[in-house]
Amino acid sequence: MNSMTRTQMRFMILTSLVAALGGFLFGYDTAVISGAIGFLQERFQLNADLTGWAASSLLVGCMFGAACGGPLGERFGRRASLIACAFVFALSGIASALPDSLAGFAWARFTGGLAIGAASFLSPMYIAEIAPARYRGRMVALYQLAIVLGMLVVFFVNLQIQRSGNHDWNVSQGWRWMLASLAVPAVVFGVLLLFVPESPRWLVKRGRDGAALGILERMNGTEAARAEIAAISASLLAKQGSWGEVLGRGWRRPLLIGCALAVFQQFCGINAIMYYAPEIFKASGSSTDAAFAQTVTVGIVNLAFTFVAIALVDRAGRKPLLVAGSFLQAVMLGVVIVGFGGGGGGFLLQAGILGFVAAFAMSSGPVIWIIISEIFPNHIRGRAMAVCTTVLWLACYLVGQTFPRMLASLGPQGAFGVYAVFSLACGVFVVAMVRETKGRSLEEIEKGRGE
C-alpha cells in the first residue's frame, strides 16, 4: 500500500481533528457538572436523588439525541448534522446558566444532551468513514482524545472560576459561569465545520459519486480513491438497510456486542469519577480548592494515557488493548477501595483513582468507540450506531443518577466494588466475544463480519 503524501496526511488529520471537536464539546459539557454540582446541591438544597438528577438530566437528552441523530445524519449528512449540534451546544450552555430552579436547569441540560447524544456517534462515524483503513483506529481515537481534552480544559476552567470568588459567590453565581463557558468552544466548532467535506460514503449513498471521489482523492490518491468508491458502491448496492435488518438475525451478534461494550464502558464507573471528582476528593478530606486542583490532575492523566491508546491501537490491536485495560481498571479500583478503607483519602486513594483513569484512557475509552464505529456495514451503520450509542447513554445516565445513592447506601467501598466487578466482566466478555478489526477496510470487515 502506497504511503500517503504530506498533503494527503495533512488533509486527513485536519479533517479528523475538526470532526473530533464534537468529542471536545462532549467532554466539556458532560464534565462541567463536576465543578458545579456541589454548589448546585447547596443552591437548590438537593438530596441524594435530586443531586443525581441534576448531574444526569443531561444524559436523558443524550439518549434521545443518540436515537434521533442517526436518522438526521442519514437524511442531511454527517457534517450538516454536526453543525446543528454545535448550535444546540451553544444554546444549552447559555440556557443552563440562567435558571433559578432545578426544573429549569434540568430542561436546559436536557437540551444540551440532545446535541451530545447526536454528536457522540456522528463524529466517530464521520471519521471512520473518511479515514483510510491503516490510519482509521488512530483517527477515531482522536475523538476520545478530544473528549478527554475537553474534560481537562473544563476542569481547569472550573478551578479558575471557583477561585474567582468566595464560597457564597460560587453558590449563587460561580456555577453559572462554569456552564455558560461552553458557548465559546461550541461556536468555534460550528465555524470550523464549514471548512470540512461531507462523508464520502454518505455522498455515494446519495448518488454523488463525483463529489465523493474528489474527497477520497485528496485523502488516498486517484487510484486508491477509485478502488474505494467501487468497494463502497458494491457494498451499498448489495442491499439497503432498514431497522428490521438492524434488529434482525443477520446483524444480531455485532449489535449485541456493540451494546454490551457500550454498557461496560459506563458501568466501570468512569463517569462517577468525572462527574463527581471534586466531591469524592472532598469526601476524602481535601479542601474545596485542593479537590478542584486534584480534579485537574485527573484530567491530565486522562489526556496523557489517551495518547498511549492512539500510539498502540493500530499496532497492538483493539482486542489486546481492551482486555489488558479492563483488567487493570479492576485492579486500580481495588486500590481505590483499599484507600477508602484506610481511613479515607491519602496516597492510595489518589493513586487508585489516577491509575484507574489511566487504564480507562488507554483502553475502554477510545477502543470501544472505535469498535462500535467499525463492526457494522455501510448500509446500516448509522442506525446500528444509534442503537449502541443510545444504550451507552442509558448506561451513563444510570451511573450518574445512582452514584450519590450508592455512596449513601453502600459507602464508597461498596460503590467502587460494583464498578470493579463490571471492569472484570468487560475483560472476560472481550476475550470471549470480540474479534480483531485492525488494518481492515470497513468493507472488508463487513464482508467477513469481523472474522
Distance separating alpha carbons of residues 336 and 287, to the nearest angstrom: 19
Q: Name which residue leads in pLDDT, 4 or 63.
A: 63
pLDDT value, residue 107: 95
- Do 271 and 396 touch, CB atoms closer than 8 A? yes
Three cell numbers written together for 338:
483499599
pLDDT value, residue 345: 52
The average pLDDT across 263-275 equals 91
- Do 138 and 314 touch, CB atoms closer than 8 A? yes
pLDDT value, residue 62: 84
Helix (H, G, I), strand (E, B) or coil at 308: helix
Say which range, 189-203, 251-265, 272-286, has the weakest mean pLDDT: 272-286
pLDDT band at 240 (very low <50, low <70, confident <90, very high): low
pLDDT value, residue 449: 53
Three cell numbers written together for 364:
475502554
Give me the sign of the Cα torsion angle 291, 295, 296, 300. positive
Question: How many CB atoms sit inside 10 A of residue 262's CB?
Answer: 25
Instruction: Report the candidate in 124, 70, 153 with the shortest Cα–Cα distance to residue 313.
Output: 124
Distance separating alpha carbons of residues 146 and 414, to the nearest angstrom: 32
- Full 3-state SS string of 41-57: HHHCCCCHHHHHHHHHH
The average pLDDT across 334-342 equals 85
Q: Which amino acid is at 68?
A: C
pLDDT value, residue 342: 67
Q: To the nearest whole number, what is the mean pLDDT of the chain?
A: 85
**Chain segment 18-75, per-residue pLDDT in tens:** 888 888 988 898 889 999 999 999 999 999 889 989 988 998 988 888 778 778 888 8
What domains, with CATH codes, occur in the chain?
6-196+239-448 (1.20.1250.20)
Helices (H), 44-101: 48-76, 78-96
Distance separating alpha carbons of residues 292 and 290, to the nearest angstrom: 5
Q: Is the pLDDT of residue 88 over 90?
A: yes
Reported pTM: 0.79
Residue with cell 455501510: 378
- DSSP per position, 253-287: HHHHHHHHHHHHHHHT-HHHHHHHHHHHHHHTT--
The average pLDDT across 175-197 equals 93
- Do 65 and 111 touch, CB atoms closer than 8 A? no
Distance separating alpha carbons of residues 402 and 408, to the nearest angstrom: 10
Report for 112-121, 229-238, 418-427, 434-443: range of highest mean pLDDT: 418-427
Q: Is the pLDDT of residue 288 over 50?
A: yes
User: Would you give the distance in Å from CA 24 to the centre of its chain?
Assistant: 9
Q: Is the pLDDT of residue 224 over 90?
A: no
**Chain segment 126-144, per-residue pLDDT in tens:** 887 877 777 776 776 677 7
Cβ-proximal residues to 233 (8 Å cutoff; 6+ apart), any chain: 204, 209
pLDDT band at 297 (very low <50, low <70, confident <90, very high): very high
